[in-house]
Structure 1
Amino acid sequence: MDPCGEHFTIVSGAARAAVSEVGAGLRYFAVGDTLYTEPVPDGSRPPRGSGALLAPWPNRVAGGRWSWEGRAQQLALSEPEAGNAIHGLLRQSFWRPADQTDAAVTLTATVAPQNGWPQPVTVAVTYRVGDEGLTVETTATNEGSGPIPFGLGFHPYLRIGDTPTDDCTLTLAARAALPLTDQLPSGPLEPLSSSEFPLGGTTLDSAFGDCEPTDGLVRHRLTAPDGNGVELWADPAFGWVQVFTPSDMPQHGRAVAVEPMTCPPDALNSGTDLVRLEPGDRWTGSWGLRPLSGSY
């Protein structure tokens, strides 16, 4: 059995994508012969969190410890080498297909109450392809008897066909960087002198915030020297972004993850930009990918 379970492929015209049953992660997005995300190799687990959906919180929780409604919580340490909990509780879950058409698929999963997580929350995600590219809509519903915090992130690795990552430039909507020590916040936001990052020779594993919408959406762009590229757009609720540039991704070597997040690392402790869901409350947010031509 494939460790990612069934693969759900969606197609509309030249646009196509695939989603995994385990974790509901994005396996790839392409238009025609051009890949715009690093593909997850068949028969393997997503390397470096590739394409993962991060809920009910993104990034890290220091020591897996946090407090909610006056009660101490202790999560399993899913990043044991650093002693943290990381990227939520649904990456290894089987997601149930709720609906599928040629161009879209909806998957759902529920976080059960457990050590460190006191109330059930159901997450539904719809991936859709069309003329504008890829759209990802996520809804979280509090199924419990008490309030619960919620944060969301995704972990796509962007690419522009076969263009080497080091030849590309990343332009962020963020206006500030969040200082990190051992990948946890260590100070207040610091203004960025530039939001443009030529990736050649640049190594990042960094958190950024204060993302400014343009025409109502947060827009991050990866561009090639010829001006072609890909835009990651998101609702204004995705006011944070993590950027990671590993050098060992399968098939492509050096790569760049651009991770839209609704809250910063360790938000379960800081409370920064967490959504509070009362029993029965529902929250929805969207992001997507759009190919760019040299004339955008």
Structure 2
Amino acid sequence: MSIRPVTGTQFEIAHGSSRCVLTEVGAAIRVFEVDGRPLVETYPEDVLPPYGSGTQLVPWANRVADGRWVLDGEPQQLALTEPRRNNAIHGLTRTVSWEVRERTASSILFATTVNPQPGWPVALAATLAYALSDDGLTVTYGVENLGDRPTPFGVGAHPFPRAGHARTEDCVIRLAAETRLPVDDRLLPTGSPVPVAGTDHDFRVPRPLGATRLDTAFGGCRPGSDGLVHHQVLAQDGTGVDIWAEPVFGWVQVFTPDDYPGRGLAVAIEPVTSPPDALNSGTDLLTVAPGERWTGSWGMRPV
């Protein structure tokens, strides 16, 4: 009798020298490599993604304080999925199985339904499309409101990009962010965003990560001349990975755990549409009306 991996069926797509492995559970990126060079941290298929590695976050990213928020005057109580800090974290789709709707050699379309449940009363249809091309990996979200009232939401990605086999602490980091969100010890906002200029949090000009450790929400992500937001992780020789996103991903969470399994120090660079506790603050929340569908894209390409 075969034992099913905890991440479910593994789906490989490829294009030229690019290869990506996605998981049924969470529709997560478990492998992304070009010419055999890893561009994301990986993990075995028989363990849960370390620190949410490669997962996609729907219908909110980051944290909801005490799991509480209000929709149309009705108090909602989400499950406290970060009990150590008494928060609900990273949405409702990381541990569900996603159905494959379409598949080619270089692309795959996943779908799932966020059913009404405690703390989330409106049904949403969610899709995730992954496609490899000469320009790297593109990830496109779709969120459709299956309910009868407008519903706020947010989405985000949780990749751990890496510059091939370079040590994370030796890598150069570049962020398009112009502000940082002050937070408390529960990583919840304590005030308005503050400029990064002149501080240790200014990565607008690429600089080594070194001894810097972060679990930080950055905002004010400014698009480049191509209309896209760009963040980068680069080795000393200038090779690495570019994480791009449409302007709706105006925030980026950067997280640097020291104990990523088999790697030690790793860096998550997470394009998100809204900051921590946005279901309460309303900051940069998206809204989808009944019967309407929203789409947005981000991706990664080799440098």
Partner of 1:50: 53
The match for 1:260 is 271
Question: Is contact 2:130-2:137 (8 Å) kept?
Answer: yes
Classify the secondary structure of the residue corresponding to 1:184. coil
Which residue of structure 1 aligns with residue 187 of structure 2?
A: 183
Report the equivalent of 2:65.
Answer: 62
Instruction: Name the SS of the counterpart of 1:202 in structure 2.
Output: coil
Aligned to 1:228: 239
**Structure 2 CA distance, aligned partners of 1:127 and 1:2?**
21
Q: Which residue of 1 aligns with 2:175?
A: 172
Equivalence for 2:219: 209
Query: Following TM superposition, by how much is the alpha carbon of 1:211 offset from its aligned partner in structure 2, in angstroms?
Result: 0.4
In the alignment, which residue of structure 1 is the partner of 2:22? Answer: 19
Task: Supply the AA of the counterpart residue of 1:204.
Answer: L
1:270 aligned to 281, 284, 287, which one?
281
Residue aligned with 2:254, SS: strand
* Alpha-carbon offset, residue 91 of structure 1: 0.7
State the superposition RMSD in angstroms. 0.8
Deviation of the 1:81 alpha carbon: 1.5
Tell me, which stretches of 5 or more residues in structure 2 are unaligned?
Answer: none
- Quick one: distance in 2 between partners of 1:187 and 1:170? 26
Aligned-pair CA distance for 1:43 = 1.1
- Judge which range, 16-25 or 39-48, deviates more: 39-48
Give the corresponding residue for 1:198: 208
**1:208 partner letter:** F
Whole-angstrom CA distance in 2 between matches of 1:286 and 1:42? 26
Q: CA, structure 1 residues 197+177, in 2 after alignment: closer, same or farther (shift >3 Å)? A: farther
Q: CA deviation at 1:82?
A: 1.1
CA distance in 1, matches of 2:45, 2:260: 14
Secondary structure in 2 aligned to 1:285? Answer: strand
* Residue from 115, 120, 124 that aligns with 1:121: 124
SS in 2 for 1:30: strand
TM-score, structure 2 as length reference? 0.95
Q: One-letter code of the match for 2:286? A: V
Greater share of residues in strand: 1
- SS in structure 2 at match of 1:269: helix
Q: Do residues 290 (structure 1) and 301 (structure 2) align? A: yes
Alpha-carbon offset, residue 290 of structure 1 = 0.8
User: Which of residues 143, 149, 152 in structure 2 aligns to 1:149?
Assistant: 152
Shift of 1:197: 4.5
Aligned match of 2:90? 87
Query: Is the 2:6–2:45 contact (alpha carbons within 8 Å) kept by the matching residues of 1?
Result: no
Q: For 1:24, what is the secondary structure of its paired residue?
A: coil
Instruction: Work out the percentage of aligned pairs sharing the same amino acid.
Output: 50
The answer to whether the Cα contact below 8 Å between 2:177 and 2:220 also exists between their aligned partners in 1 is: yes
Which string of whole-angstrom CA distances, capped at 9 and with x for unpartnered residues, describes residues 26-55 of structure 1?
Answer: 111100110000012221110111001101
SS at match of 1:166: helix
Distance apart, 1:68 and its partner CA: 1.0
Q: Distance in 2 between matches of 1:280 and 1:247?
A: 44
1:219-276: CA deviation from partner (whole Å, max 9, x where unpaired): 0011111111210000000000000000111221110000000000100000111111
Residues in 2 aligned to 1:225 and 1:128: alpha-carbon distance in whole angstroms: 29
Q: CA deviation at 1:200?
A: 1.0
What are the ranges of 5 or more consecutive residues in structure 1 without an aligned counterpart? none
CA deviations over 1:191-237 (Å, ceiling 9, x no partner): 01232452111100000001000020000011111111210000000
Secondary structure at the counterpart of residue 157 of structure 1: coil
- 1:289 alignment partner AA: M
Contact preservation (8 Å) 2:164, 2:240: no
Q: Distance in 2 between matches of 1:260 and 1:28?
A: 18
Distance across 1 between alignment mates of 2:286 and 2:217 = 19
Contact 2:107 2:132 in 1 (8 A): yes
How many residue pairs are counted as aligned between the two chains?
292
Q: Structure 2: how far apart are the matches of 1:5 and 1:228? A: 33
Q: Describe the SS at the equivalent of 2:213.
A: coil
Q: TM-score, normalised by structure 1?
A: 0.97
